[in-house]
A = this chain, B = another copy of it.
Amino acid sequence: MRKLPSAARLARIRERFASEAGVSVADLAREFGVSEMTIRRDLSQLEGQSHIHRTHGGAVLTGRMLLEFDYRDRREANRDAKQAIAREARKLVKPGQRLILDNGTTTLELACLLRDGENLTVITPSLAVASELLDAPGVEVILLGGVIRRGSPDLTGPVTEHCLELFSADITFQGTDGIGLDGKLYNADLRLARVEKHMRRIAKRAVVLADHTKIGRTALACSGKLSDIDTLITDRAASAEALRRLSKLGVRTVTV
């Protein structure tokens, strides 16, 4: 086979995707008579413009699956603890309640457990939570409006706060990026911190879900004090010393 100019090769690779969902580096290299390295470079370039995603061994079309609000990577971190915390939180939910589920991977785990809920209403700014509960028969999902933060599938900003004003709820389940030993709740994003404050205002009861890595950490924005919340659920790996200090601040703490 005669070698083609690079642009033509790129175009032909693109055409491949019209008929096949995935291509392999080795095949393309053989087919075009170039080295695998060149194909890899081509695919990297295409990944920027086209709807393909590079993988080990080749590339696949993306956008074929809807609602891929991609939390997968972060979701793996410390997942066992998060699931245990979510199971504990699930016990607080009774049929017929109106819940608020904040952004975050731990609340997402809780969302999974609510799929079999009865007559629940879930209000959330998280696209991942919404997508998880989309087809749950006993759950009505109300998504708050707002600006989508780049790189994170959730909603924040004035619109979100404005939407929240329209509701009231029985319980708000929130994550956090850090709980200082001074009893303050921290969040890495200022806008999220504001939204969380609003949530607590309209809910009868506030529950914070935080694995032990969050305890003793601080972050940019303070979203409130521990005394603003009713229950903190964390995991056993949290240091006893830290837990003692927190419970002195008056918050009911559950460890799982």
Residues of A bordering B, CB below 8 Å: 2-8, 11-12, 14-15, 21-25, 27, 48-51, 53, 55-61, 63-69, 71-72, 75, 112, 127-128, 130-132, 134-136, 140-148, 150-151, 153, 155, 159-160, 162-163, 166
> Considering the chains assembled together, what is the distance between the CA atoms of A50 and B6 in angstroms?
20
> Considering the chains assembled together, what is the distance between the CA atoms of A199 and B106 in angstroms?
36
Asked if residues A131 and B127 are in contact (CB atoms below 8 Å), the reply is yes
What is the distance, in angstroms, from A155's C-beta to the closest C-beta of chain B? 6
Asked if residues B155 and A6 are in contact (CB atoms below 8 Å), the reply is no
Residue in B12, B57, B63 whose CB lies within 8 Å of A135: B63
Q: Which residue of B lies closest to A150 (CB)?
A: B135
Across-interface contacts of A134 in B (CB, < 8 A)? 64, 67, 69, 148, 150, 153
Residue in B49, B144, B162 whose CB lies within 8 Å of A166: B162
What is the distance, in angstroms, from A134's C-beta to the closest C-beta of chain B? 6
What is the distance, in angstroms, from A87's C-beta to the closest C-beta of chain B? 16
Across-interface contacts of A69 in B (CB, < 8 A)? 131, 134
Asked if residues B141 and A148 are in contact (CB atoms below 8 Å), the reply is yes
